[in-house]
Homo-oligomer: A and B are copies of this chain.
């Protein structure tokens, strides 16, 4: 493994030319939210927009439609047929990437939707939060993961997926085995986020700040990685760029706000991080 301090990050980004259009910047969807937990979807969606997606859709329960539209005019909102949770079949053609889980809850309907996505969505897919919790409740779904899947657990979600870990070395080993077994990529969030690729290679991210340890920080990461995937990055670059700029944006935001930093501050700092590393 090695520590990634951003060396060469600029080159990992796609360049866009003068005649790029919305389609080139990608069409992504975030799926999640439940009654009282819509904020997570607000942050993931806003982060995807700030990361550069051309079109961002949010699939949320009906109770979230007005909330999202009031806060983010640029967002296309796809209402669930249910008032308080997402659910049912997945039928959204033409998406370049999908991020599932923020604030989604663990209800049966949400579970059914996740299962449907795992079986049928073939593009790049990010699983976070309750999508991970539902996954660990249904270990027979693990085989539906694959090279197009990125999991972004924090420590507790990770242990639900792979079982209790004795120490940090055990965690690293379990992450490596998990990714090799299921062919997926895994972002284990923490003070030094650990990225594990399907071939077992591991990278610690060096950017970030202790002041990012607050509610919504993870939702922002989900939106960022989903956005880069939708912009056509190969998975390795999408994950490295997402994790690194997330941490760096958090450093920029917290240099002024310290422990008063909130997740929306990180979102607003994303473009500053792009500017800092001369990302086009």
Seen from chain A, the residues whose Cβ lies within 8 Å of a Cβ on chain B are 16-22, 24-25, 35-40, 42-43, 46, 49-56, 63-67, 69-79, 154-155, 190-191, 210-211, 213-216, 256-264, 270-271, 274-275, 279-280
Contacts and interface: CB of A to CB of B under 8 A. Distances in A.
Contacts of A72: 39
15 contacts: A20-B210, A21-B155, A35-B65, A36-B79, A39-B75, A49-B262, A52-B260, A54-B214, A55-B214, A63-B65, A73-B263, A73-B264, A257-B271, A259-B280, A261-B271
A74 B41 CA distance: 10
A264 B24 CA distance: 20
Contact of A259 (B40, B67, B77, B279): B279
A76 B275 contact: no
Contacts of A280: 258-259
B70 A190 contact: no
Contact of A43 (B24, B73, B210): B73
A74 B275 contact: no
A272 B43 CA distance: 24
Given A36-B79, A259-B279, 5 more contacts: A16-B259, A39-B69, A63-B65, A73-B216, A74-B215
Contacts of A215: 22, 49, 54-56, 74-76
